[in-house]
Amino acid sequence: MTPRYAKDIVETLGGIIYHTSEKNLSYIITNRPKSKYSKFQENGIKILTEQEFIYLIEGRSKIT
């Protein structure tokens, strides 16, 4: 799986890719440690690894 794969899927599904932190984010998709994003988690933004994102859109998992 390439980093571009998740980006392509998000855009195909009508999502917007931000490369900076935005106040109106719904999710952060990353392969960096989730602990680096604790500020976002505190604001209710879901942090997903790229693999978790792929499983989500394939219907293999659900966001809780």
Distances (CA, A) of 60 to 10, 18, 24, 51, 53: 17, 25, 26, 11, 10
Judge whether residue 2 has pLDDT over 60: no
Residue 22: its pLDDT value, please? Answer: 64
Read off the pLDDT band of 64 (50, 70, 90): low
- 47 in Cβ contact with 27 (< 8 Å): yes
Q: Tens digits of per-residue pLDDT, 3-52? A: 577 788 888 888 878 776 666 778 888 878 777 788 888 888 888 888 88
Half-sphere exposure of 35 (CA within 13 A, CB side): 1
Summarize the confidence of residues 44-62 as an average pLDDT: 82
Residue that is written with structure tokens 């879901």 in the block: 46
Q: What is the pLDDT at residue 8? A: 85
